[in-house]
């Protein structure tokens, strides 16, 4: 049997990530270059390409959402299924109440 010691509880190990290939001067230089280009108007950020890259990436990362999309389920279909489930539960509750408390 183990002896419980409540006074000297071990602290959990900490995760300390230090990147191997990190050059702070290079990162600061790149930030300054992008800032100057944005001020001069040479470099314009195109947010539309980011929107296209982000759209759908969450669904691709989850299996249950991917399956429902492949089956053709949309939000209206899910709402219909949820409402049908609530209706069935309400009918069962009414029958239960009528049979046992009436």
Residue 29: the pLDDT is 94
Who contacts 38 (Cβ-Cβ below 8 Å, separation ≥6)?
Answer: 45
Residue 92: the pLDDT is 96
- CA 46 to chain CA centroid, Å, is 24
* pLDDT tens, N- to C-terminus, the chain (102 residues): 556 667 777 888 888 888 788 888 998 998 898 888 888 877 666 666 677 777 777 777 888 888 887 888 777 888 898 999 999 999 999 999 999 987
Residues 62 and 68 sit within 8 Å (Cβ to Cβ) = no
Residues 57 and 51 sit within 8 Å (Cβ to Cβ) = no
pTM: 0.38
Who contacts 11 (Cβ-Cβ below 8 Å, separation ≥6)?
Answer: none
Residue 84: the pLDDT is 96
Residue 74: the pLDDT is 79
């Amino acid at each position: 049997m183990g002896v419980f010691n409540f006074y000297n509880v071990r602290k959990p190990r900490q995760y300390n990530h230090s990147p191997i290939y990190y050059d702070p001067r290079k990162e600061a230089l790149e930030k300054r270059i992008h800032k100057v280009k944005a001020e001069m108007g040479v470099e314009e950020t195109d947010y539309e390409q980011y929107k296209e890259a982000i759209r759908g990436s969450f669904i691709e990362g989850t299996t249950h959402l991917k399956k429902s999309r492949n089956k053709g389920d949309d939000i209206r279909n899910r709402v219909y299924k949820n409402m049908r489930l609530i209706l069935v539960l309400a009918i069962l509750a009414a029958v239960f109440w009528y049979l046992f408390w009436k």
